[in-house]
Each structure stands twice: as structure tokens, then as C-alpha cells.
Structure 1
């Protein structure tokens, strides 16, 4: 695994959530773009030094410079490809001396932008391994690395990014949606175990956000920018072990659960979903 540092001014910080002050460092995985990048900026703006992690060094270095220049916070870059095996011992070495108060497990991979049946996923065997490593294993391993320090200090925040696709069985995105169900159940169980230790652990399950994963759909009330979504979702940090992150996405989740399965999973409906996403992706 390749490692690189990019540091700004030596300034301590803290994340203020209500009347509670957390430790000085935040760790964000998948921070080179989208929701992860937005979290890194928001946490730095709120006074925290940040560790940003992803596989693309050039992009991470640029994000680190932008955060440092605009907020004055220190930024540490760790370059890592979470779809690979055996990367976590080196990550643990990089983080072991840091006082981490916030962890955002954002990194994730979508098997295919265009929805398709399970057996139609390209390079299926490799894709299964990549999705499990990136969407499931990484979250559990990062919690294993960071949680002991929070437990000792009896304070901390862990935000695990799930997906609205986990709210029901989601054909054509079956592998991705199932991996996000793990994120939610793991987060909810972990919160029950550590709530009395003063640690907040929450799954955040957005529907559409204007990112590469959604082919950068135009922003509107239902499809916010990553920056707006993160600001919305922070308002619900103390609302429980799971949130959709915004009022519009909560309503979408409720609406989805009212649609009869016979209609939702009809062959004509599945074809319509495929055609719609293909058209949107083609425009981008």
C-alpha cells in the first residue's frame, strides 16, 4: 500500500455537536470525491483535523490542499485501494498515534452503474470479492481499528454510509443493496453495544445524491449535491442508529415501502428502470 502525507498548518481542532466536544482528528474513507469529500470539508470547517483515504493519490492531494487552504486544518493523506486484500495492518500503523474522534466509513463500490441481473454483472467472481472487500469488510475493519480509542475515551462518532437501496430487496442492484443491508445491521448492533459508552454509531442511507455513482444527476430537492446532503444529514446525527439523511429521502423510503412487491418487481418495471438509467447515463 502506498502512503503519502499532506499537511497544512499545525492547528488543533474539535468537532462541536451540541454541547459535546470530541477529539481532534476525523477519518474519512472514500474522501477523494462525492459524499466522502463533502464530509472531510465539513468536519474541517467545524474545526477538526482530518485524515482522508482513497486510492487516487493525485485527487487526494488536491482535496488535502483545498481543505488546508480553505480551513487551516491539518490534513493527512493515506492512499489505499480498499478492494484489495491485506491493507489494514498498514492503515492501523498510520492511525495508531492519532486521537480519532470521528470516523466516516464512506468508501463503496457499485458493481455496475447500469442496473443488471446478478449473473450479467461483468467479471462476476472478481466483482463479488471487490464489493465485499470495499462495502462490507472495510467498514468492519475500520471500526475495529478506531473503536478501541473511542471506547477508552468514552466518546466518539462513527458514521457508516449505507444506501436507500437497502430499504427493500432491490433487484438489478442486488449485490450492492445486500452489502448495504450489512452496513445498516452492523451499525445498529454496534450502536446498541456501545451507546452507553458515549459513542454515537449511525448508518446514513441516502437515495440519489449527485455523485459519480449516480452519473452526476442534476441537483434538486430530491437529488441534493454531496455538500448539501452532508449538511442535512448532520442535523439527524442524534436521531437514532439509522437515518436517510434528509426529509425528502425519508419520504422516498416510506413511499417505496408502500408499493406492492408484485408491481415493484414486475418484469416491465425492471426493464423500465434499466432503460431509464441507461438514458440518464448516456447523457453524461
Structure 2
């Protein structure tokens, strides 16, 4: 397949495009877009309107802060709300709106939407982020019910620990996967239903999290311990808001 990669940093995109091209021999198209902004989709649609997109991976995401904190403690809260909704919610729906019609017409296609393991419960201290990922799951599950008989696979992938910038590149272990290992694992579950945690370990973590009474998770001592744990793991203070780079990949059917 030829590939289109989309992100907000052209230098990084060009580097990744070269790596993919050198390794696979396939064509790689680069498109620069910042999905925290309001009006980027018209330009995207114009650039890609002649492509038959066979696989869409909505992996764009923004975490308001590495450090867990209460909703009202977020820096520049109004802007943060707008950016998170644009990036984590609006973008996924808009990209599906652009490319799902072609898949439906051809009677085949795959859409993978990346959620988060913490969306399996109402998750305090990451309230806005977790809520945005619940939308990803419900929207994807509804679309799969609507378009499954059209031959289209629409799946939510909800990982826990993956060593990316969003997770401050934590050291990999049995709980925290490298991006490469997680992708290989999660693709094995592509036909396993409308939602997967992407690995056996992350599936077990989801089950454990849902089995803990919410009053235990919401205890002040537990929330304080979470803050201490994240501070120790990442070295980031609550006063430093960070976000992941917006990043999106589309895999396109090979053109003749």
C-alpha cells in the first residue's frame, strides 16, 4: 500500500516518510495539519480527494497535561477544552466523514480509531481526556453497527501503557509496550470485534480497573498516590502542561 502520513511538524513527517519509503519501496505522501485548529478539513479533503483510501488510522490525540490534575487546575482552560475537543473528538468524526463514503461505495475498508484504556471508567484527574476517548469508543461502535454489512471493519483500540511522547517515553516492561510491539499485537485482534485493548496484558488491566469499586479509585489518598507515581515516572511538575504531537496515518490502497 501507498501511505499518507499527517501531522503538524513537516520536518518529522519528511523523516518518517523517508524511513517508510526506504523500507517498503512504496510511495509516501506528506500532509501537514494541526488538528487542534478549527478549519483544516477542507484543505485535507482537497489534497486527498483523488486517493482511494482503503485503511484509515485515526491516531491523533492530545493529553492536556502529563501530570494528573483536577479539571479547574488546567492552564488556559478555555483553550484547552477547545483543543482537546477539536483534536480528540472532532477530527475523528470529520476524517470518517471524508473517507467512509468511498469505502462504502467499494464495499470494503478498515477504520481503526485509537481510544485509551482509562476510558473504561470515569477517570478523575484526567477527566477531559478520558471523556473525549469515551466518544471515540461509542462513535466507532455505532459506525460499526451501521456499516458492518457494507464490508467495512471499524474498530476502537484502547491501549494502556505505550512508550510514546504522551507517556513521557516511559521504560518498556510487561505493562508498558513499545509502539512497534503494541502495533504488532493489536493488529492480531483486528477482526476480534468493535473494541480491543490490543494485547493480553492490557486486556487484563482493563478487567482489573473495572473490577475495583469506584469509591476506592476516587479516594483522595488514591488520587494523591496517582499524582506522586506520575511525577516519579515522568519527572514533570503539575505546572508544566504538555500535549502529544498531533499525528495521523492513513494507509491507502495501492494505485495502479
Could you state the TM-score of these two structures normalised by the residue count of structure 1? 0.82
| Structure 2 residue 80 is matched with structure 1 residue 119 | no
Q: Secondary structure at the match of 2:234?
A: helix
Q: Secondary structure at the match of 1:280?
A: helix
Cα deviation, 1:107-154, whole Å, max 9, x if unaligned, reads 000011100000001110000000000000000000000000000000
Cα distance between partner residues in 1 of 2:145 and 2:214? 31
1:203-214 equivalence runs, <5 A: 203-214=156-167
In the alignment, structure 1 segments of 5+ residues that lack a partner are 1-47
1:1-284 equivalence runs, <5 A: 48-282=1-235
Could you state the TM-score of these two structures normalised by the residue count of structure 2? 0.91
Q: Secondary structure at the match of 2:3?
A: strand
Cα distance between partner residues in 2 of 1:180 and 1:121? 18
Instruction: State the Cα distance separating 1:261 from its structure 2 match.
Output: 1.2
Q: Secondary structure at the match of 1:100?
A: coil
Structure 1 stretch displaced more, 104-113 or 256-265: 256-265
Cα distance between partner residues in 2 of 1:97 and 1:262? 52
RMSD over aligned Cα, in angstroms? 1.0
Q: Secondary structure at the match of 1:89?
A: helix
Cα deviation, 1:156-214, whole Å, max 9, x if unaligned, reads 00000000010000000000000000000000000000000000000000001001111
Instruction: State the Cα distance separating 1:90 from its structure 2 match.
Output: 0.6
Q: Secondary structure at the match of 1:159?
A: strand
Cα distance between partner residues in 1 of 2:168 and 2:61? 15
